[in-house]
Chains A and B, each alone.
Chain A
Amino acid sequence: MRDAAMPGAWRHYRPSQAMIVVILTAIIFVTLSAALPGFLSVGNLFTLARGISILGILGLGMAVVVIGRGIDLSQIAILAVSAAIAVSLINAGLPEGPSLLIGLLIAVLAGILNGFLVSVIEIPPLFTTLASSLLLLGLTRALVVPHYQVFLEHSSDTLQALGGTVAGGLPVPVIVFAVCALLLHLFLSKTVLGHFIYAHGDNAEAARLAGIATRPLTMLEYGLSAAIGYVAGVVMVASTSLMHLQIAESTMIFDVILVVVLGGVSLVGGRGNVMSVIAGTLLIGVLLNAMTIMNLNIQVQNVIKGGVLLFAIVFDSYLHPRDDETAKQGD
């Protein structure tokens, strides 16, 4: 973005990673349209868009944390837990609004807890979020949701609308994704706090010395990630009337990391933006959809995704090498 520069500088134009990914996506898209029957149908495209948008929303949340040089492996667990609790509350007869608000509160608190552990106790983010997802999931299953899934027994129109389509067949989740992306873009690029997050990820120590309160900032990052994740969770519930806790044990979190890393939000922090997430989302969404159409089973899909993610990580550490003599465990 920064180097997409002035007129006359075109000879020095180097496409950003997001741009490359978008072009790559376009090529794959065209290839798949030609090769796979049924890929380029309006129905499939809307399915694709619906699937993509949830991944995209999650990717936005993850991007906030990754830009701040962290990672949130507990995002899906927080999503599942908070959404499941919200659904349980609605089932128990509580009005929809307060229930959803309580769910949001739980999600944000869990995120802030992550941020606290990372910034104050100084547990590396990977360990923190790995352990906190186990803790949250275990507690929720033991205390609130004894079975793996909760069905939304009676849904209101507003909630159903969130999972439906608008006129023309465009799925509402896509609109939610767009709104989230726009808001986050404004937050990251136009507000002081957004710039602080970049500074924090670029060089946490320098940011701290410059007077940024990095501890509350970390809590904000993780809280934001959890909150955005919760939005995705509500959209999921609205679409399927169901929250299944097992998604927290699935490989969904890796899809999210894949989206973020492929798009160009480097794990070294301080790099990338909302465009990167959108680009990554498009690529992964197309791939996932293609694999589903090709009727590959989950395991094969995992092997392929794993391969792509490994490639992405190697590529990322090649593009943005880190100093492994000063790196800390769990970076």
Chain B
Amino acid sequence: MRRLWYRISPQLLIGELLEKRWMEPAVPFLLMCAIFLAFVVAIPDYGSIQQLQQLMRSFPEQALVAMAMALSILSGGIDLSVGAVFAMANFIALYLAMVLELPVSVAFAGALAWGALIGAANGGLIAYAKTRPFLTTMVVLIVVRAFYELVTVAYATDLASAYVDNAAWDFVGIGDLLGVPVNMVCLLAVAFAAHFFLTRVKPGVHIMAVGSSRKAARHAGINVRLSLFLAYVLSGMLASFAGFLYAARQNSAGTDTGVGWEVNALAAAVVGGISLAGGRGSTSRALIGAAIIFLLINGLVQLGTHGSLTTASIGFLLLLAVGFNVKFVKHKSKILQKIYVSPTLVDFTPPPSIARDSGTVFAENDRLLDVEPIALGKIEGPEDVILDRNDNLYTVNRNGSIIRFLAPDYEIREEFARIGGRPLGLAMDKDENILACVAGMGVYGVRPDRSVFKVTDETTRSRFRLKDDSRLLLADDLDVAPDGRIFFSDASTRYDLADWALDGFEGRGNGRLVCHDPRSGKTSTVLKNLAFPNGVCVAHDGQSVYWVSTWLCRIYRYWIDGPRKGALEVLVDNLPGFPDNINRASDGTYWLALVGLRSPVYDLAMADPSFRVRMVKQIPPDEWLCPGINYGCVLKFNDKGEILESLWDPGATNHPTITSMREHKGYLYIGGLENNRIGRLPLPDADPGWTSWDSYYGDGTTPAAVTAPAPARKAG
């Protein structure tokens, strides 16, 4: 039960949910649905078609004003004059259409021109005179409002007595298109256009950029002032468009028209999730927010609530939404950091002793003590090493290149090829191309002529998982099967290389074994939910793949061919350290690197996920308990899963973090993730002519065949 709880951790779900871009608008959307449903239940006939049509008819104006507000907020400012601009545009449209009896198009143009004018005044003051948006537009609100009251009083009788039978005017006001009110159609069209403008059209994108970071926008060469100016002009025009629609629908200019709409619009924008800091938000969020406020006010009125309580609730909602918004923007990354690491349960049995006199095969010895260093100080982090048939040594470097050291003395260093990323595991295919797993990129190859090519950088995305895992995040080691298929490990789909120790700390099956088939060019995930699959090696007989789970300290065998194809078995369990790369040995066995050693404290911590949860939440990351990866060794095992011998470097001054070793012509070459050297150790018992390439692709006449049990190599 406990195991299951930690396996499908809800924390994991929340952590990955928080990373999703669609999560933020989802909250207001659900809120909107909840409010609507609540009123459907509370008010009879609320969900009827007629009622819906009524709602849709009165919603667009408020939504447009909210969009106007949202636009100004997205630009990094605010436009409080939208309510007054709306009211005045309403009057102007009415006056032009009803009193002067001009065509609807003129009324429309007049209203929009008015909005643009006030927008230009706002924008001019804010962008060019550098005044504060909030106060500036607030004063404009007062002036325009006062102006509106003056003119409506002055023309009250004209407006009241005017009656024009204008079909187009009535169509805009009360017409339908396929049962949807015309103004709703207008709203959708405008919303779509605004969305397109803000996300696809240069000036619109510039407005968003200015809102996100004014400094960055300026450095990018954007005309910041012009963009701001434009934002306010457009905001004014949106508000006046709302005024035009309102005029056509209501045919009146009351004293309270548009009063307080700016507050509702502000609340709508913020509740919809548009960040007051600017640059974060979208048209759809403004619409969702507007719908929430509209439904709330409308529903409360229908329920007969005191009008002032509605005001109070808007004020409260505004405080709540802004507060949440401010805190969320500020702390999102922190929350994510705290919640993202989601430890799970790992039950270890005590490991075999490594004490010198313990008599186990793991007993510490001095066999790596006098390893000859190669390339001392000339290399940074040779995670893996490989040698070609001419004995040249290739290794990976931290800066993303493949480095070659020329035989025979390995004194001459040259950059063989530059891939980028962080190359890790290496392998060589039949054509003597070097294949490399590159963390953060995928699997890449380097031809003998030094040209780089991509093997694969994606795999099948797993279903029912929130996080998009189609990219290869941490390709670690690979090997080539006799039929040319490339098997490689993608160690973690949740952490990149910089955080690889965190993955261990989590102990969760985040990795996978992936297969790329060059014949079809397809890449597919073979095994998933593996706890940091690391080293990969195709067995001597070519029928199975050995891979290790670093955090579970196990070696697995996965059958890729033959009668047991598809079967998975644990070959070795409970290693005393964290296994890394596996490579073939000349005597038909395999070399295995231990990158670090287990400790009783760490084992205990792994068995207690709640302890690790507390640690993640309460202390800073650099003080977290980490897997001990400063002491390593090299092991040898055979196909039966027996550990045959171990090679230790006591004190680990030469080779602390051993991640790989490669046998070549009687020598063992040792690489390490953090080391500044490659080690070379003579193997007196080994076959002095054996090379890895021959073992994989040779004609089968190498002496290695004598000791290896029935190596079934395919010549093709």
Chain A residues engaging chain B, CB cutoff 8 angstroms: 117, 121-124, 126-128, 130-142, 251, 254, 257, 267, 298-303, 305-307, 309-310, 313-314, 317-318, 321-322, 324-325, 328-331
Contacts and interface: CB of A to CB of B under 8 A. Distances in A.
B303 interface: no
Contacts of A306: 139-140, 142-143, 146
A254 B215 CA distance: 32
Interface in B276-312: 276-278, 306, 308-312
A331 B277 CA distance: 11
Contact of A324 (B130, B319, B330): B130
Contact of A267 (B130, B132, B138, B308): B132
Given A124-B276, A267-B132, A267-B135, A299 B315 contact: no
A299 B322 contact: no
Residue in B130, B134, B135 with the greatest tally of chain A CB atoms within 10 Å: B135
26 contacts: A126-B135, A128-B319, A130-B318, A131-B319, A134-B263, A134-B318, A137-B308, A138-B312, A139-B309, A142-B306, A251-B142, A267-B132, A298-B146, A302-B143, A302-B145, A303-B147, A309-B139, A313-B132, A313-B136, A314-B129, A317-B132, A325-B218, A329-B78, A329-B278, A330-B134, A330-B276
B215 A325 contact: yes
Nearest to A73: B138
Contacts, number: 137
B313 interface: yes
Contact of A135 (B138, B147, B316, B327): B316
A127 B322 contact: yes
B16 interface: no
B312 A139 contact: yes
A302 B313 CA distance: 29
Contacts of B149: 299
Contacts of A121: 323, 326-327
Contact of A303 (B131, B143, B318, B327): B143
B310 A138 contact: yes
Contacts of B13: none
A130 B318 CA distance: 9
Most buried by A among B139, B263, B326, B330: B139
Interface in B321-340: 322-323, 326-327, 330
Given A121-B326, A123-B322, A299-B149, A138 B135 contact: no
B185 interface: no
B655 interface: no
Contacts of B180: none
Interface in B114-130: 125, 129-130
> Which 4 pairs show the lowest CB-CB distances between chains A and B?
A138-B312, A134-B315, A135-B315, A306-B143
Nearest to A305: B142
Contacts of B310: 138
Nearest to B305: A142
A293 B401 CA distance: 85
Contact of B214 (A138, A298, A325): A325
B150 interface: yes
Nearest to A254: B142
Contacts of B147: 299, 303
Contacts of A124: 276, 322, 326
A107 to B, nearest CB: 17
Given A128-B319, A134-B263, A267-B132, A142 B143 contact: no
B508 to A, nearest CB: 35
Nearest to A134: B315
A313 to B, nearest CB: 5
B440 interface: no
A122 B326 contact: yes
Contacts of B315: 131-136, 138
Given A123-B326, A137-B308, A317-B131, A310 B319 contact: no
